[in-house]
C-alpha cells in the first residue's frame, strides 16, 4: 500500500472546538494513546500561547514515543522583527521538539488587511522563519493558511508563498482550507496543480468542515498526490470542526489502498474514537461513519432478512476491520429476522415460533410508547418470558408510593412493595430521595437476601422523555434506565401515562436482567398461581408513615 503521513492535531486544533477543554494530564494521556495507535505526528500545542502548552512540552520530553513525533505549533515571524528576535519562534525552539509546524499567509486579503504588510514582506517572513528553524536542525512543516481561498483570489501569489517555504527548507508544505469552504473537485484540481508546480515537495492537506466536506476534501487531496494528512480524532475543532481522522483513516486504507497506520492498527480506531470522546467528555455522535454505535446498526426488517442470507447485502465493509460490530435494532419496523438476530446477539435461546409472538409483542408495545432500540435488556427479557420454561426471579404484586412534605420537615418519598420470590411473598418498605429511588430501595431491600449479588448492581442513569408534550399531564412518559454491574452494562425501558408505573417497569427489568447476567437462578418453587399478576399500585395512599410487619421502614438505603 502507498503510505501517507498522519498528522494529528487533536491536542491543538481540536481543543479549539466549542465545549472541548483538555487538562494537561488529558493531553499527556491522549498523546500516549495516539503514539500507541501509530500516527506519524502529534501536534502538542502552541508553546508561545499559554502556560499549559509550555508545561506540556516540558513534561512530554520525559516520555518515550515509539511511533509518533511531537510537533510544536506556531506562526511565522512578525513583520519588522528578525526571526531570532521573534518571541513565537524562540518559544518553538524552547519547546525542544524535533518537529516545528508554522503557518503563514497565502491569501492576499490576509496579507494586506490582517497582517497589514506588503506581499514581498510576507514572502520574506515565510522564507526566513522556516530557514531560522531549519538552521536549528528542526524538521519544519509549513501550513499554508487559507491556501485554497488565496489560490482562488490570486493563484500566482498563493503559489509564491509555497515557493518561499520550500526555499526556506520546509520538509512538508500543507495546503490549508482554513475557512472550510472548498469542495472536493476544487481541492483535487488545485492539489494536482501544486504537485505539478512543486514536483519534489511533500504536499499535505489540512481541511476544516464548514461545508461538511472536510473528509471528502482530504481524500480528494490524497487522490491528487498529497502524502501528508492533518486532522483530529472525531473531527473536533473550531466552528464546524476539522477533518475527522476516525473516518479518514478507514477510507484511506479500505477504499483508496493508502496506509496511514502501522499494519493491524486500523482495527483500534473505534475504541480510540470512543476513548478520546470520553476524555473530552463529549458524546460521540452514534451516526459517525465507521466508528459510531449506529454505523453498522440495522433496523429495517427487509435489511435484516437480507443480511441473514448475506452480510454484504447492507454493509459496505466488515465492521471488525475498524473495531466496530454489527447490531440489529428491534422496533416496530422489525421483521422476524430482526428478532432472531437479536436473540442470537444476546445469547437467548428462542423456541420455534416464539419470534413471531415476540415480534407482535414488540409492535404492540411500541404503539403504546415503548422503544426497544436502546433497551436490549428489556428485549432479552421479552424473549425469555416468551419461552415455555421461563420462570421469573421475582414478581411485583403490588406497590404504593407516597411523596409529600410534613410540617417543618423536608420533602419525603416512601414506597411499599409486595412481591413474590418463588413461593415466598414479601412486603417491604423503604425511603428514597424521590419516588423512583424509594421504589429501587424497597425492591433491593426485599430481594437482597434471596439474591446477594444485587449489591453489585447499580442504577447508572435514569432518563425520562415525554412523548407528546401537547397532551400535557396526560402524555405518555418513556423511561430508560441504564444498569451497571460486574458483568457489563445494560438498558431497559418502560412507558405509561403514569410516570411511576413506567419507571417501575424499567426498574424491574433492569434488576431482573442484571441478576440474570450475574448468574442468578429462579427459586426452586414457582410463584403460586393464586398471587401471580401484573404489578399494580394500591388504590389509596397511606395516611401514616409507611411500615412493614417488622417495624418502621423509614431508613435511607
Number of Cβ within 10 Å of residue 510's Cβ equals: 31
Sign of the CA dihedral with 535 first, then 538, 542, and 548 last = negative
* C-alpha dihedral sign at 9, 12, 16, 21: positive
Q: What angle do CA 438, 442, 447 make, to 5 degrees?
A: 150
pLDDT of residue 49: 83
Contacts of 25 (CB under 8 A, 6+ apart): none
Say how far apart CA 322 and CA 250 lie, in whole Å.
7
Rounded Cα distance between 15 and 73, Å, is: 13
- pLDDT for the residue numbered 344: 57
For 408, residues 6+ apart whose C-beta sits below 8 A from its C-beta are none
CA torsion 327-330-333-339 (nearest 10°) is 100
What integer pLDDT is reported at residue 528 of this predicted model? 65
Determine phi and psi for 252, rounding to 5 degrees.
Answer: -60, -50
CA angle 164, 168, 171 (to 5 degrees): 100
3-state secondary structure of 34: helix
Question: What pLDDT score does 527 carry?
Answer: 66
| Pairwise CA distance, residues 437 & 445, whole Å | 12
pLDDT at 252: 98
Separation between Cα atoms, residue 491 and residue 346, nearest integer Å: 13
Q: In angstroms, how far is CA 286 from the centroid of its own chain? A: 7
Q: How far is the C-alpha of 78 from the C-alpha of 115, rounded, in Å?
A: 9
HEC profile of 40-72: CEEEEECCCCCHHHHHHHHHHCCCCCCCCEEEE
- Identify the pLDDT of residue 517: 86
Alpha helices in 408-547 (DSSP H): 435-447, 499-517
Question: How many Å apart are CA 427 and CA 443, to the nearest integer?
Answer: 10
Strands, E, within 61-197: which ranges?
A: 69-75, 99-105, 139-145, 172-177
Tabulate helix, strand, coil % of the chain (nearest 5): 40, 20, 35
Residue 549, class by beta-carbon neighbours within 10 Å (0-12 exposed, 13-18 middle, 19+ buried)? exposed
The pLDDT assigned to 360 comes to 59
Architecture of domain 395-552: 2-Layer Sandwich (3.30)
121 phi/psi in degrees, rounded to 5: -65, -35
Three-state DSSP class for residue 374: coil
Reply yes or no on domain 2-280 having CATH 3.60.15.10.
Answer: no
Q: E strands, 331-409, where?
A: 395-405
- CB burial class (10 A; 0-12, 13-18, 19+) of residue 310? exposed
In tens digits, the chain (557 residues) has pLDDT values of 678 999 999 999 999 999 999 999 999 999 999 999 999 999 999 997 889 999 999 999 999 999 999 999 999 999 999 999 999 999 999 999 999 999 999 999 999 999 999 999 999 999 999 999 999 999 999 999 999 999 999 999 999 999 999 999 999 999 999 999 999 999 999 999 999 999 999 999 999 999 999 999 999 999 999 999 999 999 999 999 999 999 999 999 999 999 999 999 999 999 999 999 999 989 889 899 999 988 887 665 555 556 566 667 778 999 999 998 876 655 444 454 555 555 555 555 655 555 555 555 656 655 665 555 566 777 777 777 776 677 888 999 999 999 888 777 788 899 999 999 988 899 999 998 889 999 999 999 999 999 999 999 998 888 888 776 666 666 788 888 899 988 888 888 888 888 899 899 899 999 998 998 898 888 877 666 666 554 544 433 333 333 333 333 333 33
pLDDT score at 537: 47
Predicted model pTM: 0.72
Write the CA distances from 418 to 237, 446, 532, integer angstroms. Answer: 54, 9, 11
Residue 138 pLDDT: 97
Strands (DSSP E) contained in 149-236 are 172-177, 202-207, 228-231
| CA-wise closest residue to 434 among 471, 408, 464 | 464
6 vs 230: CA distance, rounded Å:
6
451/426 Cα distance (integer angstroms): 14
Beta strands at 172-177 and 202-207: parallel, antiparallel or unpaired = parallel
SS3 of 529, please?
coil
Give me the residue spans of the domains in the chain: 2-280, 297-385, 395-552
Phi/psi at 505 (5° precision): -60, -45
Measured in degrees and rounded to the nearest 5, phi and psi for residue 464 equal -125, 135
Query: Residue 252, Cβ neighbours under 10 Å: how many?
Result: 25
Amino acid at each position: 500500500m502507498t503510505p501517507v503521513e498522519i498528522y494529528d492535531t487533536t491536542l491543538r486544533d481540536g481543543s479549539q472546538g466549542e465545549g472541548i477543554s483538555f487538562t494537561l494530564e488529558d493531553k499527556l494521556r491522549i498523546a500516549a494513546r495516539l503514539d500507541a495507535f501509530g500516527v506519524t505526528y502529534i501536534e502538542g500545542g502552541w508553546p508561545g500561547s499559554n502556560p499549559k502548552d509550555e508545561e506540556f512540552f516540558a513534561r512530554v520530553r520525559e516520555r518515550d514515543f515509539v511511533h509518533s513525533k511531537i510537533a510544536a505549533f506556531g506562526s511565522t515571524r512578525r513583520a519588522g522583527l528578525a526571526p531570532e528576535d521573534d518571541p513565537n519562534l524562540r518559544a518553538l525552539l524552547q519547546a525542544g521538539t524535533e518537529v516545528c509546524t508554522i503557518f503563514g499567509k497565502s491569501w492576499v486579503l490576509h496579507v494586506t488587511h490582517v497582517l497589514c504588510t506588503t506581499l514581498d514582506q510576507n514572502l520574506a517572513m515565510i522564507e526566513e522563519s522556516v530557514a531560522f528553524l531549519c538552521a536549528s536542525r528542526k524538521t519544519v512543516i509549513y501550513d499554508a493558511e487559507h491556501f485554497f481561498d488565496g489560490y482562488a483570489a490570486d493563484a500566482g501569489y498563493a503559489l509564491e508563498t509555497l515557493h518561499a517555504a520550500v526555499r526556506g527548507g520546509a520538509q512538508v508544505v500543507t495546503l490549508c482550507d482554513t475557512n472550510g469552504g472548498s469542495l472536493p473537485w476544487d481541492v483535487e484540481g488545485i492539489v494536482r496543480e501544486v504537485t505539478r508546480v512543486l514536483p519534489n515537495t511533500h504536499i499535505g492537506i489540512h481541511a476544516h468542515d464548514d461545508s461538511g466536506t472536510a473528509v471528502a476534501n482530504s481524500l480528494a487531496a490524497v487522490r491528487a498526490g498529497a502524502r501528508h494528512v492533518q486532522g483530529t480524532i472525531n473531527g473536533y475543532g473550531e466552528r464546524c470542526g476539522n477533518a475527522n481522522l476516525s473516518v479518514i483513516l478507514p477510507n484511506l486504507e479500505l477504499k483508496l489502498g493508502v496506509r496511514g497506520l502501522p499494519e493491524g492498527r486500523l482495527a483500534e480506531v473505534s475504541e480510540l474514537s470512543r476513548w478520546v470522546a470520553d476524555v473530552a467528555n463529549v458524546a460521540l455522535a452514534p451516526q459517525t461513519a465507521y466508528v459510531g454505535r449506529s454505523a453498522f446498526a440495522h433496523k429495517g426488517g427487509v435489511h435484516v432478512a437480507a443480511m441473514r442470507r448475506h452480510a454484504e447485502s447492507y454493509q459496505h465493509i466488515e465492521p471488525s476491520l475498524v473495531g466496530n460490530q454489527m447490531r440489529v435494532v428491534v422496533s416496530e419496523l422489525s421483521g422476524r429476522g430482526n428478532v432472531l438476530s437479536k436473540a442470537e446477539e444476546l445469547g437467548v435461546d428462542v423456541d420455534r415460533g416464539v419470534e413471531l409472538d415476540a415480534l407482535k409483542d414488540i409492535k404492540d408495545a411500541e404503539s403504546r410508547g415503548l422503544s426497544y432500540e436502546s433497551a436490549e435488556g428489556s428485549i432479552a427479557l421479552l424473549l425469555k418470558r416468551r419461552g415455555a420454561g421461563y420462570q421469573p426471579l421475582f414478581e411485583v404484586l403490588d406497590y404504593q408510593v407516597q411523596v409529600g412534605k410534613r410540617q417543618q420537615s423536608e420533602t419525603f418519598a416512601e414506597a411499599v412493595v409486595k412481591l413474590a420470590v418463588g413461593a415466598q411473598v414479601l412486603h417491604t418498605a423503604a425511603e428514597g430521595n424521590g419516588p423512583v429511588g424509594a421504589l429501587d430501595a424497597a425492591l433491593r431491600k426485599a430481594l437482597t437476601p434471596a439474591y446477594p449479588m444485587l449489591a453489585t448492581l447499580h442504577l447508572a442513569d435514569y432518563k425520562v422523555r415525554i412523548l407528546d408534550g401537547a397532551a400535557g399531564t396526560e402524555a405518555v412518559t418513556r423511561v430508560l434506565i441504564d444498569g451497571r454491574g460486574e458483568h457489563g452494562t445494560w438498558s431497559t425501558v418502560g412507558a405509561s401515562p403514569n410516570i411511576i408505573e413506567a419507571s417501575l417497569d424499567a426498574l424491574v427489568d433492569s434488576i431482573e436482567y442484571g441478576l440474570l447476567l450475574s448468574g442468578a437462578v429462579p427459586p426452586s418453587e414457582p410463584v403460586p398461581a393464586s398471587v401471580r399478576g401484573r404489578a399494580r399500585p394500591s388504590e389509596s395512599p397511606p395516611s401514616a408513615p409507611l411500615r412493614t410487619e417488622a417495624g418502621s421502614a423509614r431508613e435511607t438505603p
